[in-house]
Amino acid sequence: MFDKLEDLIVRLEEILRDLSEPDVAGDSKRFQKLMKEQAEITPIVETYKEYKKAVQDEEDSLLLLDEESDPEMKELAKAELNDAKDRKVKLENELKILLLPKDPNDDKNVIVEIRAGAGGDEAALFAAEIYRMYTHYAESMHWKVETLNFEEIGIGGMKSVDFMLSGNGVYSKMKYESGVHRVQRVPETESGGRIHTSTITVAVMPEAEDVDVKIEDKDIRIDVMRASGNGGQCVNTTDSAVRLTHYPTGIVVYSQTEKSQLQNKEKAFALLRSKLYDLELQKKQAAESAARKSQVGTGDRSEKIRTYNFPQGRVTDHRINLTLYSLNKIMNGDIQEIVDSLVAADQAAKLTNMENEE
């Protein structure tokens, strides 16, 4: 680990030298690549320098303890020694986390797909609430929200909704949301006051570029049709809605949110690319050995990951046994504590796997 850290110090110096060269500044692609690498390496190098200082402070304190005869100075040296040891352990753990292999998709935008599951209208209502929860969270993170497609029901629920979140590190935060979300509450339409359980499924897919997924013309069928549902003046008057059918996988996507057929076509292709890319990620994760998998899964869409219990005002994430009694805040988009806990659990699991492999 420490050899790698020393190499990173050298590499950062090389990058800073290169960035000061006039020919590099004139090459926008190379300049951006170096700036990105600098941003990734700098926090690791700074933490490593702090670690080296803690090691040096520990050695200085030990030396002072050996040489010093004054009791007060010895006590001071002991306190400094303990402080240096604590800092060294803390910083070493931070370095291990910083050196974990980075998920190549972490910086990508995502397409989120929410589908009502068991529970009829109640599931559709909950799907709409979870959609709002994510849009509020996105606003707090200064991410852009773009709806790709949706199917509403008359009472304010959604049978399905697809939307894109764009911004900094979106996938790194949202990737843990994939799976089955369960709600327990008394429906407004229930006269007997009985608690019902309904479910929805959430799929979070990294946005795929053309370089990630190649779609052959022969593998696709494009249908255009009139939009349906709430959509403004163009509904049922122009053939603006677009449906894509991908023959090899049987995946069908639909977009009707824009008035322009061209814009709907672009959105539909973005959704299809991400679905195909996500399909390959799922296959890759399934093929990995159990020893290399993180304990906090981001793959199995049939896994029940979270329960929202309205009568008790609690939310439980079953993967990490986290229960929070702040349901109202969470439903209003304040899910950062859950996200942070999942990230920490995932990092801890990866560290354990890495240590077991060494």
- What pLDDT score was predicted for residue 116? 92
* Interval 268-296 mean pLDDT: 72
Q: Where in the chain is the domain with CATH 1.20.58?
A: 2-98
- Burial class of residue 196 (count of CB atoms within 10 Å of its CB; 0-12, 13-18, 19+): middle
User: Binning pLDDT at 50, 70 and 90, where does residue 228 land?
Assistant: low
Average pLDDT, the chain: 85
User: Binning pLDDT at 50, 70 and 90, where does residue 349 land?
Assistant: confident
How far apart (Å, rounded) are the C-alpha atoms in residues 170 and 43?
20
- What pLDDT score was predicted for residue 329? 96
- Which one is predicted more confidently, 333 or 349? 333
Residue 230 has pLDDT above 70, yes or no: no
Residue 237 has pLDDT above 80, yes or no: no
Per the listing, tokens 């797909």 go with 113
2-98: CATH number: 1.20.58
Per the listing, tokens 């560290």 go with 351
Instruction: List, in sequence order, every residue forming a beta bridge with 166; answer none if it has no partner.
Output: 144
Picking from 3-12, 251-260, 295-304, which range would have the lowest pLDDT averaged per residue? 295-304
- Which one is predicted more confidently, 170 or 212? 170
User: Binning pLDDT at 50, 70 and 90, where does residue 335 land?
Assistant: very high
* Interval 256-267 mean pLDDT: 85
Q: Are 120 and 132 in contact (CB under 8 A)?
A: no
Q: Where in the chain is the domain with CATH 3.30.160.20?
A: 217-283
Global pTM value: 0.74
* Interval 1-5 mean pLDDT: 83
How far apart (Å, rounded) are the C-alpha atoms in residues 112 and 150?
12
Q: Where in the chain is the domain with CATH 3.30.70.1660?
A: 110-210+295-351
- What pLDDT score was predicted for residue 25? 77
User: Binning pLDDT at 50, 70 and 90, where does residue 189 land?
Assistant: low
DSSP per-residue codes, 85-132: HHHHHHHHHHHHHHTSPPPTTTTS-EEEEEEE-TTTHHHHHHHHHHHH
- DSSP conformational letter for 232: -
- What pLDDT score was predicted for residue 295? 47
* Interval 320-333 mean pLDDT: 95
Q: pLDDT tens for residues 103-146?
A: 888 889 999 999 999 888 899 999 999 999 999 999 999 999 99
What is the SS3 assignment for 256? coil
- What pLDDT score was predicted for residue 357? 64
* Interval 285-297 mean pLDDT: 53
How far apart (Å, rounded) are the C-alpha atoms in residues 165 and 158?
18
Percent of the chain surpassing pLDDT 70: 89
- What pLDDT score was predicted for residue 102? 82
Structure token pair of residue 352: 């354990």
Picking from 45-54, 66-75, 93-102, 317-326, which range would have the lowest pLDDT averaged per residue? 66-75
110-210+295-351: CATH number: 3.30.70.1660
Q: Are 251 and 276 in contact (CB under 8 A)?
A: yes
- Burial class of residue 351 (count of CB atoms within 10 Å of its CB; 0-12, 13-18, 19+): middle
- What pLDDT score was predicted for residue 240? 83
* Interval 228-235 mean pLDDT: 47
DSSP per-residue codes, 11-44: HHHHHHHHHTSHHHHT-HHHHHHHHHHHHHHHHH
- Which one is predicted more confidently, 297 or 84? 84
- Closest Cα to residue 139, out of 329, 333, 327? 333
- Closest Cα to residue 31, out of 20, 44, 47? 20
Residue 347 has pLDDT above 70, yes or no: yes
How far apart (Å, rounded) are the C-alpha atoms in residues 297 and 188?
34
- What pLDDT score was predicted for residue 287? 63
- What pLDDT score was predicted for residue 236? 46
Architecture of domain 217-283 in this structure: 2-Layer Sandwich (3.30)
Q: Are 209 and 105 in contact (CB under 8 A)?
A: no
